[in-house]
């Protein structure tokens, strides 16, 4: 049974990691077997969930009196990539050779799309292992939701593109010397750009790598299928600021273009109107009461202005999104949310799993 995948996407600084953790704990509390995959957790959050020291293996999080279970994983790109290389290599020796390649050492976490590919791969691994009902994914704060979805295709293009086939084929025909003899303009341009020896090293890596490419390719197709599965949902996390709104709408456009299932907006740190009006302040009291009344009146006015700006921003966000898009508003808690009890206290404002469809 494949687990449902819930992707929390949004730009940096909106509270994605906190939201992902809070959702995971809330749903585990309510009875699901949840695994949350975080990409770049703040150290304190990692510490409070006890995942700071762990690599790519799920760590159980114990929630008192929970009906379900919760595990957390921190993505380790290098470890995930190495795992795939071991899986698809013909032999341990072949795998070791690739892992020892200087270019691989230098480049493995920096290749275009690799970070996102490995995150997607990890999601697939967790979703298909049969241990969980739902995987909550704290996506990388890339501006482009496409990055996550396109990563497997992009890696495929990199590995399989004309230039790489040329490089690896040339490499295998006669070693690096073969590259020097090549008169193709393409080769000349690339060699001129980065120098002969760099091309040689890259060629050697891809020459080794192409033997396990078919494994990667079919795996990548499976990953893409999962990301586009009918019950995969994308929750757009944002805040009530105008800048965050335009980023959120940009993400939404991406999801629409790729026909991904948008589950709704989750707006963090929302300020609300003060409940008491200035008229409720007593006429006399201890201390310099006139000064105090003025200060309190000003604070009420300020809070009201802030809350009103938030309300209007949220209204504009909803208006620009699809009609009747579900929106969950999480009030500003007035303190950092790092400990488990803080995360659990958000549960009442968060969507239940069935609310996401």
Partner 1 sequence: MSPLNKKVLIVTGKGGTGKTTAAAALGVWSANQGLNTLLVECNGARSIGSLFDQPPNTYTPQRLRDSLFGMSITSDEAIEDFVIKQIKVRALYSMVFRNRVMGPFMDAVPGLHDAVHLGKVYDLVENEVTNGRPTWDRIIVDAPATGHGLHMLNASRSMMDLTRTGPIHENAKLVHTMTSDRAQTGLIMTCLPEEMPVSETLELNEQLSSAGYSVSAIVLNEMVNAALPDSSTWPDVSAALIADGCSDLVDLVERHCTRGAQQADAQSKLHTTIQAPLFEFPMLLSTELGLPEINRLAEQLNKPVAP
Site for partner 1 in 178-217 (CB under 8 A): 185-186, 189-198, 202, 206
Length of the chain: 357
Q: Which stretch binds partner 1 (CB under 8 A): 1-9, 10-18, 120-128, 227-235?
A: 10-18
DSSP codes, 160-204: HSHHHHHHHHHHHHHTHHHHHH---HHHHHHHHHH-HHHHHHHHH
In angstroms, give the least distance from the CB of 262 to partner 1: 21
Task: Tell me which residues in 301-320 interact with partner 1 (CB under 8 A).
Answer: 302-303, 305-306, 308-309, 312-313, 316
Task: Tell me which residues in 226-245 interact with partner 1 (CB under 8 A).
Answer: 239, 242-244
From candidates 54, 99, 107, 261, binder to partner 1 by CB under 8 A: 107
Q: Does 257 bind partner 1 (CB under 8 A)?
A: no
Q: Does 130 bind partner 1 (CB under 8 A)?
A: no
| Of 130, 119, 123, 136, nearest in space to 35 by CA | 136
From candidates 87, 96, 100, 106, binder to partner 1 by CB under 8 A: 106
Could you give the CA distance from residue 349 to residue 329 in angstroms, rounded to a whole number? 7
Q: Does 281 bind partner 1 (CB under 8 A)?
A: yes
Q: Does 296 bind partner 1 (CB under 8 A)?
A: yes
Q: Which residues contact 228 (CB under 8 A, 6 or more apart)?
A: 149, 259, 260
Task: Tell me which residues in 136-175 interact with partner 1 (CB under 8 A).
Answer: 140-143, 154-155, 157-159, 161-164
C-alpha dist (Å) from residue 227 to 258, 285, 329: 11, 62, 26
Number of residues that bind partner 1 (CB under 8 A): 74
Cβ contact 57:21 at 8 Å: no
From candidates 299, 322, 355, 357, binder to partner 1 by CB under 8 A: 299
In angstroms, give the least distance from the CB of 136 to partner 1: 20
Cβ contact 138:39 at 8 Å: yes
Cβ contact 52:72 at 8 Å: no
Q: Does 110 bind partner 1 (CB under 8 A)?
A: yes
Could you give the CA distance from residue 144 to residue 282 in angstroms, rounded to a whole number? 53
In angstroms, give the least distance from the CB of 284 to partner 1: 9
Q: Does 276 bind partner 1 (CB under 8 A)?
A: yes
Q: Does 343 bind partner 1 (CB under 8 A)?
A: no
Total Cβ atoms within 10 A of residue 2: 15
| Of 327, 310, 318, 187, nearest in space to 266 by CA | 327
Nearer to partner 1, 191 or 211 (CB): 191
C-alpha dist (Å) from residue 180 to 174, 184, 228: 10, 10, 44
Task: Tell me which residues in 57-86 interact with partner 1 (CB under 8 A).
Answer: none
């Amino acid at each position: 049974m494949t687990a449902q995948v819930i992707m929390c996407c949004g730009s940096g600084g909106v509270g994605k990691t906190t939201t992902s953790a809070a959702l995971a704990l809330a749903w585990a509390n309510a009875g699901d077997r949840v695994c949350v995959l975080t990409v770049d957790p703040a150290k304190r959050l990692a510490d409070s969930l006890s995942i700071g020291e762990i690599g790519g293996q799920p760590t159980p999080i114990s929630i008192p009196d929970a009906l379900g279970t919760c595990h957390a994983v921190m993505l380790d790109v290098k470890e995930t990539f190495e795992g795939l290389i071991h899986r698809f290599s013909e032999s341990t020796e072949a795998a070791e050779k690739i892992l020892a390649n200087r270019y691989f050492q230098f480049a493995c976490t920096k290749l275009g799309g690799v970070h996102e590919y490995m995150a997607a791969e990890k999601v697939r691994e967790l979703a298909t292992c049969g241990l969980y009902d739902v995987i909550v994914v704290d996506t990388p704060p890339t501006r482009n939701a496409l990055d996550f979805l396109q990563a497997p295709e992009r890696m495929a293009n990199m590995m399989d593109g004309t230039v790489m086939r040329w490089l690896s084929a040339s490499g295998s025909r006669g070693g690096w010397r073969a590259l020097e003899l090549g008169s193709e303009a393409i080769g000349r341009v690339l060699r001129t750009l980065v120098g002969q020896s760099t091309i040689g090293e890259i060629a050697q890596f891809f020459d080794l790598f192409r033997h396990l490419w078919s494994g990667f390719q079919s795996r990548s197709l499976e990953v893409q299928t999962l990301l586009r599965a009918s019950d995969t949902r994308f929750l757009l996390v944002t805040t009530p600021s105008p800048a965050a709104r335009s980023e959120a709408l940009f993400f939404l456009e991406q999801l629409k273009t790729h026909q991904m299932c948008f589950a709704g907006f989750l707006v963090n740190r929302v300020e609300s109107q003060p409940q008491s009006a200035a008229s409720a302040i007593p006429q006399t009291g201890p201390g310099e009461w006139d000064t105090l009344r003025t200060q309190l009146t000003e604070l009420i006015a300020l809070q009201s202005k802030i809350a009103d700006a938030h309300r209007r921003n949220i209204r504009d966000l909803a208006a620009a999104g699809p009609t009747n898009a579900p929106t969950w508003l999480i009030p500003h808690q007035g303190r950092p949310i790092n400990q488990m009890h803080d995360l659990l206290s958000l549960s009442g404002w968060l969507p239940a799993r069935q609310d996401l469809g």
